[in-house]
A and B are shown apart, each in its own frame.
Chain A
Amino acid sequence: MATKASRSAARLMMAPAVVLLLGWMLVPLIMTLWFSFRTYLPLRGGDQGWTGFDNYVRFVTSSAFWPAVQTTLVIVLGVLIITVCLGILLAILLDQPMWGQGVVRILVIAPFFVMPTVSALVWKNMFMDPVNGLFAHLWRFFGAEPVSWLSDAATPSIIMIVSWQWLPFATLILLTAIQSLDSEQLEAAEMDGAPHLKRFWYIILPHLSRAITIVILIQTIFLLAIFAEIFVTTGGAFGTRTLSYLIFQRVLESQNVGLGSAGGVYAIILANIVAIFLMRIVGKNLDN
């Protein structure tokens, strides 16, 4: 049906989006690559020339690197485990018949719409403050010593804040997936006398596997890049410096652009490894 003329018109209509995104991708990427091979200290002498792979070696051998990798892994895995497990349970619960389902859905989804700087600050002050926070009140009520959450248990605290933000996302997607489950299959299993746990394990979980994979992949990409939550709570102190926060500090705080860019290249490679898996699933879906 498509004529030659309509094909070239289509190409013309696509051109602005393609050109813009190509520029957005290539220009900064090439600059980052270029800086990563140079000694570049904007405030201390500027661009001091070619250094080969020096920055790449220095970035991974610096004493801050491995702790940052560890923190990143702990935060990403912690949030993934919490949000996926609770998300599955919550999605199953919300799928049950009940009164006021719509309102409950709204309550559960709300945290997703709170901007990251707000949720981080609200948790930091109103809940985790060791003197006036709600947790401190609660601890004192039970006769316990209030905890300085963001200095004594900084990483778990951040995991908790970020999990609160991402639980709605996991729940919503898993709920959408559950609702597409063929209820006849479940009823048949129920009539055959399959217990709840078995029904969950053999019917619901396999049905959700694709949605779970997608939740994990998308969240991983966003979680690797969390910034505001750390920026306004600990500023990377108390062992909460993730890989992307370390790169941010190298580039903007210590103004070592060469070193930070080398770190940036590592981060880009890491994100792409995750992205490949996501694209494969999304691509398969496009064929149908």
Chain B
Amino acid sequence: MARAVTSQRKLINTGLAWAIGLLIFFPILWTILTSFKTEAQAIASPPIFLGFDWTLENYGVVMERSNYARFLWNSILIAGGSTILGLIVAVPAAWSMAFVPSRRTKDILLWMLSTKMLPAVGVLYPIYLLFIQLGLLDSRAGLIIVMMLINLPIIVWMLYTYFREIPVEILEAARMDGATLKEEVLYILTPMAIPGIASTMLLNFILAWNEAFWTLNLTAVNAAPLTAFIASYSSPEGLFFAKLSAASTMAIAPILILGWFSQKQLVRGLTFGAVK
């Protein structure tokens, strides 16, 4: 029996949920709106919500003065590079753990998880020192490696939970029908594994994009991604709310859009399959 829901109750739920949702979203909305104001309108009292002269001027100023494109490019390279590198390492590992499990598989998975719990600040100096010695400080390659390593446990875990859902019976049936190993991998496993791999990619791209400990501490100029670009706005200089908003909007827009596609995977990826 379906629960009888009066439309009055549904109306109240809707109103309440939308009000709270908008309240939570408000800081982002306000930032986006402010990015289209002039500096004077951005600090006008009382604040102007929509009735201002929309302008793109701030975006132009931000692009010009801080070389936004380079920061963006670094973010893409670091987040993308570390995700791809992580997948190359993690796919075989997760594959073998899911399809050829041994007695130690569980221990290895939990141990991998434990490396994710290592507080970054506890190993800050060793990494800093190693980076200096190896000439990796402020280099994209160095950051790609670090991002890959800190996200590797999550990548392995997510892939493992996805691969485990692929029914082994299908493989056996294919073998009965005389499929070769190559056909098996190419026509049966790959199509079933691709959605899982894609979701893993998406979530890890987001996590690497937003990471703000190593990216702030290991970069200066050349390899600095958008997290550092925004941090450079932390000391105010005259009127800067609209420019700050424009810079912020540019830094979060790509990931907000990607993020909306990855809600479901978020739960799986961040709880290590413990909540489904």
A contact residues vs B (CB 8 Å cutoff): 2, 6-7, 9-11, 13-14, 16-18, 20-21, 24-25, 27-29, 31-32, 35, 90, 93-94, 96-101, 103-119, 121-127, 132, 134, 137, 140-141, 164, 167-169, 172-173, 176-177, 180, 183, 187, 190, 210-211, 214, 218, 221, 224-225, 227-228, 231-232, 244, 247-248, 251-252, 257, 260-261, 264-265, 267-268, 270-272, 274-275, 278-279, 281-283, 285-287
- Given A17-B93, A28-B127, A187-B3, is A115 in contact with B27 using a C-beta cutoff of 8 Å? no
In angstroms, Cα B263 to Cα A113, docked, is 10
Give, as a whole number of angstroms, the nearest-CB distance from B75 to chain A: 9
Please judge, given known A-B contacts A94-B17, A251-B124, whether A123 and B27 are in contact too, CB under 8 Å.
yes
B213 CB, min distance to chain A CBs, angstroms: 5
Determine if B122 and A268 form an interchain contact, defined as CB atoms under 8 angstroms apart: yes
B interface: dominant SS: helix
Taking the closest CB of chain A, its distance from the CB of B196, in whole angstroms, is: 17
Interface size class of B (residues with CB under 8 A): 35 or more
Q: In whole angstroms, what is the CA distance A225 to B116 when docked?
A: 12
**CA separation between A221 and B120, bound complex, in Å?**
11
Contacts of A221 in B (CB 8 A): 117
Contact A282 B110 (CB under 8 A): yes
Count of A-B contacts with CB under 8 A? 302
Please tell me if the beta carbons of B126 and A21 are within 8 angstroms of each other in the complex. no
Name the interface residues of B23-51: CB closer than 8 Å to any CB of A: 24-25, 27-28, 30-31, 34, 43, 45-47
CB–CB A211/B275 < 8 A: yes
Q: Closest CB of chain B to A41's CB: distance in Å?
A: 12
Known contacts A93-B13, A113-B259, A251-B125: does B102 contact A7 (CB below 8 Å)?
yes
Residue in chain B with minimal CB distance to A16: B89
Is B68 in the interface zone, CB < 8 Å from A? Answer: no
A108 to B17, CA, bound (A): 9
Residues of A close to B192: CB separation below 8 A: none
A164 touches B241 (CB 8 A): no
Min CB distance B216 to A, Å, is: 7
Q: Please state if B227 and A117 are interface contacts (CB–CB under 8 Å).
A: yes
Q: For the complex, is B206 an interface residue (Cβ under 8 Å from A)?
A: yes
Whether B176 sits at the interface, judged by CB under 8 Å, is no
B115 touches A21 (CB 8 A): yes
Please judge, given known A-B contacts A20-B152, A111-B28, A231-B231, whether A247 and B115 are in contact too, CB under 8 Å: no
Q: Which residues of B contact A103 (CB under 8 A)?
A: 21
B123 in contact (CB, < 8 A): yes
